[in-house]
Amino acid sequence: MGRVVREQLRNLLRTGVFTTTRSWALLLSVLLLVGGGGGCSRTEPDRPNIIFFTLDTVRADRIGCYGGSMARTPHLDQIAENGLLYTQAISPASWTLPAMASIMTSVYPSRHGAYWVDRRMDGEIPTLAQSLQAAGYHTAGFHGHLLVSSLYGFDRGFDVFREIQVDLSDTAEVWANIHKGKRFEPTAEEINSEIADWIENEAIEPFFLWVHYFDPHMPYKPPAPLPQLGEGPWDRIALLGRPLQKYFQPKETMPEGMLDQLERLYDAEIHWTDRATGNLLEKLRARFPEEPLVVLTSDHGEEFKDHGHLGHTRTLYNELIRVPLILSGPGIPAGRNIGEPVQTIDIFPTLLDYLGLEPPRGIAGLPLPFTSGGRQNRMVFSETRNRFWPDSLGAEASGTQPLYFRSMQRGNWKLILSLLDDKRELFDMSGDPGERIEQAASNPDTALALLHAYHQATEPNGLLGDGGGEIENVELSEEERERLRTLGYIR
Ligand SMILES: [Zn+2]
């Protein structure tokens, strides 16, 4: 069945049209018509190798093909030149665990349940890797970060799952090493060298290769600064880890020049990650010459005091949820920018649709459009939520306030809700893309229309859940907590 017909059917099912016998008969007749050789689909779907890059913490506007003025990202730009670039790709969450779990399941965080570091994603929800494995793909995942690890269920569906971690058994020693300049998480090139072994010895075509590079995440410690960006006055080591954490909150004013230097280091991390992406693709091309399908995205962005904070997790402004999303490969149009709002939860159904497979029931994503012009009114959601450890002393001791935000955008208008205190913010994303001019009071009808759509999404069969249910809690060791502390997720 072709992607367009399937999409239309899915929309009809979503709108509840098929609730009567007569409507089911209509559905059946459409299916028979399609099955009878409508001529719009692949009867023998190709099975290209699929390479799926998730670059941690890369905001879209720092990449060259997204207009980043300081960017040095020739490899990412080249992938975009050969394929489709989604200019308004919105992450369903503003930090790693919920965003990545949503990418892998195509449901929102409040549905898969992994909304905080002690929550594992619901093991009953099918993953992208499981679907591709069932379709005959050899599935291999490579990463070096706790929050996308088997601890949270990310290994489901992978024939090969390599968790490339440094030894953290003695956290004091780890910190001593960080201050000496040693990397805390494996670099992209270290991950590449693990993948090189797999390429040589284990890879079986067709394969689905998931690669998660962590480098642009704090601490910003690129292999080398970008010469064209300058070294700046700041000692790179002084900008790592805990000394920086006091500036996460808006009340702390940073010394002059520090923010600029941080951004330069962040850009350099993205540059080196771009280079690793290119190196890996070249290595794969040498061994597997057939053109692969390449998908590249990020889990969330990063804020540099855009709205007062540093880092991520704490808000749902676009510096945190607008991410790169690029698709390139056989049959994918080249050099096209798509401006419709899309989400990274769309990757899962897009890949299945591309292969002529049906996505699992209950997913929230839609196949990505290959042309512009439709779906201007799609509602896109994001969520972020934190809570304290059961043994924590509360907000005052941790220095962080509990938060639970949800955002929704349709057309130009975006509404951000704070569920803990019922505050609302409304922004016109076309006239005010930086989200500076809050308009909830001046445009109450627009806010209300978005709220209405939001309430529909939170109904029992809606796209958003309450995040509760029988979801397994994750027990973290003190060592794992320490690692999350050093990365700034908890205090
Ligand atoms: Zn992340």
Distance 57 CA to ligand 1 centre (A): 5
Mean pLDDT on 20-41: 35
Model confidence pLDDT, tens digit, residues 39-52: 333 334 489 999 99
d(CA 481, CA 1): 47
Question: Is residue 126's pLDDT more than 60?
Answer: yes
Instruction: Please tell us whether the domain made up of 381-486 is placed in CATH 3.30.1120.10.
Output: yes
The environment of the single-atom ion ligand 1, i.e. residues with CB closer than 5 A, is 56-57, 96, 299
Model confidence pLDDT, tens digit, residues 188-221: 999 999 999 999 999 999 999 999 999 998 888 8
Tell me how crowded residue 475 is: count the other CB atoms within 10 A of its CB. Answer: 9
Distance 379 CA to ligand 1 centre (A): 23
Question: Is residue 269's pLDDT more than 60?
Answer: yes
Q: How far apart are the first and last CA of the chain?
A: 51
The answer to whether domain 50-374 and domain 381-486 are alike in fold is no
Instruction: Please tell us whether the domain made up of 50-374 is placed in CATH 1.10.3720.10.
Output: no
DSSP 119: B
Distance 247 CA to ligand 1 centre (A): 19
Question: Is residue 398's pLDDT more than 70?
Answer: no
Distance 300 CA to ligand 1 centre (A): 6
Sign, Cα dihedral of 167, 169, 171, 172? negative
Distance 441 CA to ligand 1 centre (A): 34
Percentage of the chain exceeding pLDDT 70: 75
Q: Are strands 310-311 and 303-304 parallel, antiparallel or unpaired?
A: antiparallel
> Residue 479: which pLDDT band, with cuts at 50, 70 and 90?
confident
Per domain, the residue ranges of the chain are 3-35, 50-374, 381-486
Distance 214 CA to ligand 1 centre (A): 7
Q: What is the pLDDT of residue 205?
A: 97
Model confidence pLDDT, tens digit, residues 154-199: 999 999 999 986 444 444 454 455 445 454 688 999 999 999 999 9
Tell me how crowded residue 431 is: count the other CB atoms within 10 A of its CB. Answer: 9
Distance 158 CA to ligand 1 centre (A): 21
Distance 312 CA to ligand 1 centre (A): 8
Model confidence pLDDT, tens digit, residues 68-90: 888 889 999 999 999 999 999 99
DSSP 355: T
Distance 98 CA to ligand 1 centre (A): 9
Distance 316 CA to ligand 1 centre (A): 14
Distance 95 CA to ligand 1 centre (A): 5
Nearest one of 416, 406, 414 to 433, comparing CA atoms: 414
pTM for this model (two decimals):
0.84
Distance 275 CA to ligand 1 centre (A): 19
Determine contact, residues 302/57, Cβ cutoff 8 Å. Answer: yes
Distance 217 CA to ligand 1 centre (A): 7
Distance 146 CA to ligand 1 centre (A): 11
For 230-266, b/e burial (b = at least 16 CB within 10 A) is eebebebeebbbeebbebbeeeeebeeebebbbbbbb
Structure tokens at 349: 């159904």
Distance 302 CA to ligand 1 centre (A): 9
Distance 27 CA to ligand 1 centre (A): 41
Determine contact, residues 77/435, Cβ cutoff 8 Å. Answer: no
Distance 93 CA to ligand 1 centre (A): 10
Q: What is the pLDDT of residue 285?
A: 97
Determine contact, residues 91/312, Cβ cutoff 8 Å. Answer: no
Distance 462 CA to ligand 1 centre (A): 26
